[in-house]
């Protein structure tokens, strides 16, 4: 029986057996899993727990990573901390409390979907555009003093650079906010490009953003490492067919991350470095 992934530590992987019966059902499973993951991710992050992993796991263990796609909020930047503050301020201005169950539903979604959840759950009279404008104003006040890179980011990006792997940011945030936040920490030039929810027809948990990321990096999606902190982002990467490692933070760690290869504690997890180093010996590089 396969061991379920855990936070930190080393993964215990068996060798893939030639002619494994699971290979015969991969194509059928991939289509069914994509639809199931997207549906469950939109339903209050109620994906199956991470110990019920997809049969795809065994087939991707030997993947040679050729490119890396990073989520932004909560993975590159500590903006999930700031979103929590902003949500609290928004609700306090209305004499209410920013409820945890509502916040969990909003994490990982693009602005329109997230604010529509807040409006529905709290019966607000404002439009999502009104809340977006107010949020932007609050962010203007707190970003300069409170924005930080997440632990291990600098060292991990340096390793990706050493291996000369293409890398991008794939975020549910807007272009304007991504440029502002990444630019403040001089991180825009660290990535080849940034894709946002504005660039695709359907945002996370749908796979569009990661399919586009793989295409722009001229990489087969199954050879692209996706790093995500949220259940919805994880579902997007898994449904795209990418090699997904989830890196939860304080705000997302209570979620479940069905379909990910394993869960890292931070970007300093040694297994991430081991995975990347396989790329040095990948054929055709």
Q: Are 171 and 196 in contact (CB under 8 A)?
A: yes
With CA atoms as reference, report the closest residue to 77 among 175, 166, 180, 161.
180
Q: Residue 168: enclosing H or E segment and its boundaries?
A: strand 167-171
Same domain, 155 and 248: yes
With CA atoms as reference, report the closest residue to 205 among 249, 239, 174, 250.
239
With CA atoms as reference, report the closest residue to 171 among 181, 161, 163.
181
Same domain, 92 and 40: no
pLDDT in tens, 60-74: 456 799 999 999 999
Q: Which residues pair with 149 in a beta bridge?
A: 77
Q: Give residue 23's pLDDT band: very low, low, confident or very high (50, 70, 90).
A: very low
pLDDT at 91 over 60: yes
Give pTM, 2 decimals: 0.76
Distance CA 142, CA 144 (A): 6
Same domain, 134 and 172: no
The parent domain of residue 62 ranges over 22-75+149-281
Contacts of 164 (CB under 8 A, 6+ apart): none
Helix residue ranges, H only, 62-152: 79-92, 100-106, 111-122, 128-146
Same domain, 136 and 277: no
The enclosing domain of 214 has a CATH number of 3.40.50.1000
Note whether residue 67 is domain-resident. yes
Note whether residue 5 is domain-resident. no
Note whether residue 269 is domain-resident. yes
pLDDT at 2 over 80: no
Note whether residue 136 is domain-resident. yes
Between residues 35 and 181, the one the model is more confident about: 181
What the block records as the tokens of 84 is: 């929590």
Same domain, 223 and 154: yes
Same domain, 253 and 168: yes
Same domain, 128 and 241: no
Contacts of 68 (CB under 8 A, 6+ apart): 160, 165, 166, 167, 168, 224, 225, 227, 276
Note whether residue 3 is domain-resident. no
Note whether residue 10 is domain-resident. no
Domain edge (last residue) among 146, 168, 193: 146
Percentage of the chain exceeding pLDDT 90: 65
What the block records as the tokens of 150 is: 């997440």
Same domain, 153 and 223: yes
Structural domains in the chain (count): 2
The enclosing domain of 94 has a CATH number of 1.10.150.240
Same domain, 181 and 243: yes
Same domain, 97 and 48: no
Pseudo-torsion of CA 284, 31, 271, 148, nearest 10°? 100
Same domain, 98 and 137: yes
Predicted pLDDT at 46: 41
Note whether residue 4 is domain-resident. no
Predicted pLDDT at 61: 53
Note whether residue 6 is domain-resident. no
Q: Are 13 and 57 in contact (CB under 8 A)?
A: no
Tell me the mean pLDDT in the region 173-186.
95
Same domain, 67 and 87: no
Domain edge (last residue) among 121, 146, 171: 146
Distance CA 242, CA 90 (A): 36
Predicted pLDDT at 44: 46
Preceding omega of 197 cis (within 30 degrees of 0): no
pLDDT in tens, 210-221: 999 999 999 999
Q: Give residue 283's pLDDT band: very low, low, confident or very high (50, 70, 90).
A: very low
């Amino acid at each position: 029986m396969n061991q379920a992934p855990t936070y930190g530590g080393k993964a215990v992987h068996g060798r893939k057996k030639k002619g494994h019966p699971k290979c015969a059902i991969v194509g059928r499973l991939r289509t069914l899993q994509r639809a199931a993951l997207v549906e469950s991710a939109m339903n209050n992050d109620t994906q199956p727990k991470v110990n019920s992993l997809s049969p795809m796991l065994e087939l991707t263990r030997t993947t040679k990573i050729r490119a890396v796609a990073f989520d932004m909020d909560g993975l590159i930047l500590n903006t999930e901390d700031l979103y929590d503050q902003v949500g609290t301020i928004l609700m306090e201005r209305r004499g209410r409390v920013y409820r945890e169950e509502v916040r969990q539903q909003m994490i990982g979604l693009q602005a329109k979907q997230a604010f529509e959840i807040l409006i529905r759950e709290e019966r607000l009279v404002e439009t999502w555009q009104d809340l977006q404008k107010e949020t932007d104003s609050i962010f203007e006040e707190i970003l300069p003093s409170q924005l930080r890179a997440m632990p291990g980011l600098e060292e991990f990006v340096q390793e990706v650079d050493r291996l000369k792997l293409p890398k991008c940011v794939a975020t549910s945030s807007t272009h304007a906010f991504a440029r502002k936040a990444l630019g403040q920490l001089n991180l825009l030039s660290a990535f080849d490009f940034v894709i946002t929810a504005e660039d695709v027809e359907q945002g996370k948990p749908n796979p569009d953003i990661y399919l586009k990321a793989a295409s722009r990096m001229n990489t087969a999606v199954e050879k692209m490492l996706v790093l995500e902190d949220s259940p919805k982002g994880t579902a997007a990467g898994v449904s795209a067919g990418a090699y997904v490692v989830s890196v939860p933070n304080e705000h997302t760690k209570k979620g479940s991350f069905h379909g990910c290869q394993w869960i890292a504690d931070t970007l300093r997890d040694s297994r991430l470095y081991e995975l990347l180093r396989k790329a040095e010996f990948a054929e055709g590089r």
